[in-house]
Chains A and B, each alone.
Chain A
Amino acid sequence: MVSASLRVIHSLPCLLLSRNLLVVCTAVCLLTSAGCGKKDATTAGSSEKTATATSQVTDSSSNETTKGSVTPAESATAESATTETTASNASAENPSVEETALLSAPPLGPLPEVPVPADNPITQAKVDLGRILFFDNRLSGDAGTSCASCHDPRLGWGDGQAISRGYAGTQHWRNSQTTVNSAFFSKLFWAGEVPSLEAQAKSAITGNLAGNGDTVMIEERLALIPEYVTRFKEAFGVSEPTFDLVLKAIASFERVEMISRDSPFDGYLAGDIDALSDDAKKGLALFKGKARCIACHNGPLMSDEDYHFLNLPENKLFEKDPLRQVALRYQHYIRGVPEEVYRNADSDLGLYYTTKQESDRGRFRTPSLRYLEYTAPYMHNGVFGTVEDVIEFYDQGGGDDPSQSPLIKPLNLTEDEKFELAEFLYSLSGSEIRIQTPKLPEYQAVFD
């Protein structure tokens, strides 16, 4: 049903919007427009709706969902990108999967307010407590590993390794993802195994290849650290620290202090046309058009939070490091795959571990692209060391595995276009988030 003519219409509200907004001259207003939302249901009718919304733009609050948000600069560039897409596909009567994906992609935009779960409202006391806990190695079994061991502020809040180091005596089997902007995800970990930062922290602290912590031991350790007892009381009104509250404090810290929204692209979205170089602007057009990145890397977070099989090259570490092999088999074992799958385990099965569906083998949740300047290497297995490597992979269109995502196809980008795309990707990183490592409070005997 989606035709070339509809695509042209689709660009109209954006045009109208941009003109209005130029008049209104607002910067970072998060205008929610249902019309430009996830579904490509934008029709002529929605332009009216959008225009109405635009007239109220100064009143629009920033706490609404922004899956469909449009901002001045974004809408301005959306015009050219859409035009380009339209032009290149104008002859197609029946849109392909990737065309549909492009059309239905929620537009890029500034990050919304951080979502906060109803049962864990943010307070400064929680944030301050969570910051200390994040660096406290006593949350791990042998008190040798903290969250910051693999989410190191000096390494983009990842660990700079292709595949993470893991707990002492083990080696992990996946790349350590940055915790920056993780607060915006509704699914955490590479295969979206858990639904919240709190649940992510729980898995990381207790996982045998990560923190290997015992929850009751952790609670008892904290109970004998007077400063923590005081801080938990201040933050949560409890007389003794609990593991559940440890998770809530860490999540609160991440929601407040690990947010990056000051990238050049954010400046551009806010109306500063000069925030992006000309190359980056061309890269943005490619991102939304010829290179089709936006099919998955869309919305303010630049992730569709969906699962895709990219048919990536395997990381050879699994052939070279016995402990990586241990970790890979262990993952198969503990996730309860059928024995035959365990016996043949030779790669990370991604979403399959959760669903046990053949079609989910090797599918991983789309990561955000924000902050990527600091988070190399890339991909769930860290197989690409640079942004350029990643672009090269996508340009070649993956391999010949029939189950590879249909969105992955050769792009035929020129060298200039690859450069421009990289320039755009680099514009997605703001200033580096560095904090002073907190001083850890000490144990103290409680009896005289």
Chain B
Amino acid sequence: MSRFFGTLTVLLVFAAGVVKAQGEPRPLGGLPSLGEKLEPAQVDLGRQLFFDPRLSGDATISCATCHSPDHGWADGLALSRGYPGTRYFRNTPTVVNAALGRLMYWDGRLPASDLPTVVRDHISEAHFLQADGRLVIERMRQVPEYERQFNDAFGGEPTYGRILNSVAAFVSSLTSQGVPFDKFLAGDEAAISDEAKQGLELFKGKAGCIQCHDGAMLSDGKFHSLGLNANPEIFKDPLRHITFRRFFRTLGVPDYALMRQDAGLYCVTKVKHDRELVRTPTLREVSRTAPYMHDGQLPTLEAVVSFYNSGGGPRASKDERLKPLGLSEDEQSALVEFLKTLSGKPIEVTRPKLPAYQLRKLGDN
């Protein structure tokens, strides 16, 4: 990680005097490279599976339904749609750079180092794809083109592990490319505008963003409350409230039926002071992934900056460091300009043509 340290950055941070008892933020840095080498055949197969609705119980939605390349590999919705017959109660994060983070989900309940398990969770969960993995295997086996691709990628027939591994390989391959801020860090002064540079200084200084959005991923990987009240849509819409209740109930939160706030990290740890704390998301690709926050209640980057400028939300759980910032309109604009430099070129893929089911010779399985 030392290669991402910029001495100048460190000095600036200290000079700004924003570092409090919570520990010193790590300097910002260029996008890390993936630790592992991906097998192209697995990535190619995973790309197809990512777009294939046959990974869902009723074969109507795929990973790409909520993680769409048309919406920065998220869905552009405040609250995710969920499996048919359900509606979800949190915002869909992008999967771009997912493999480079520390934890997954807003409550951090799974590690990013084990993406196949994250894929498995998505396939099997009642609010996501609600599919039995064994059924998915048999569907794959009914597609000769997939049988061939699994053989190429793994040297054998479709198995659940191979399905998960190939989707995970494809997700891992989705990393930001040509990010202006990374070019700037690498010495290209012209890669970002002067206004964005001013925003960077605010980010690290007066606005204090870096206290949580630090390091190469612009996230401390930790959990905080911004003091936001829950998005009221969750409780206005019985389907969202149902999914909310079921989710916290299955994770063992005792008061799930009475809760009017997302339990956040508490649903994992069951430690009282973890209530309402959610994982700091990366800011990379942030300009493509509106709306914002774990329940999508802030529609634009401007609204997010304005929210922080006013000192965060009203709830008692709020992180004590959130205070009114006193940013001018220009400063707020500059901050937004900086945030926009964190997105790379759009990652576009041609939606794969999905291979069709074919008949097999009965009894030759």
Contacts and interface: CB of A to CB of B under 8 A. Distances in A.
A217 B239 contact: no
Contacts of B57: 141-142, 167-169, 208, 212
Interface residues of A, number: 45
Chain B's interface size range is 35 or more
Contacts of B362: 318-319, 325, 346
Contacts of B60: 142, 168-169
B154 interface: no
B89 to A, nearest CB: 12
B358 A140 contact: no
Interface stretch (A184-192, A326-334, A390-398): A326-334
Contacts of A323: 142, 357
Interface string B79-98: 00001111000000000000
B142 A446 contact: no
A324 B357 CA distance: 11
A342 interface: yes
A445 B59 contact: no
A141 B241 CA distance: 16
Interface string B115-155: 00000000000110011101101110110000000000000
Interface stretch (A150-158, A219-227, A295-303, A419-427): A219-227
B359 interface: yes
B350 interface: no
B249 interface: yes
A320 B359 CA distance: 7
Interface of B, helix, strand, loop or mixed by DSSP: loop
Contacts of B58: 141-142, 144, 167-170, 212
B260 A447 contact: yes
A320 B237 CA distance: 43
Nearest to A334: B134
Interface in A46-105: none
Contacts of A224: 238, 241-242, 245
B54 A216 contact: no
B132 A444 contact: no
B363 interface: yes
A184 B358 CA distance: 41
A444 B142 contact: no
A299 to B, nearest CB: 37
A212 B242 contact: no
Interface of A: 138, 140-144, 167-170, 208-209, 212, 214, 216-217, 219-221, 223-224, 240, 318-323, 325-327, 329-330, 333-334, 342-346, 443-447
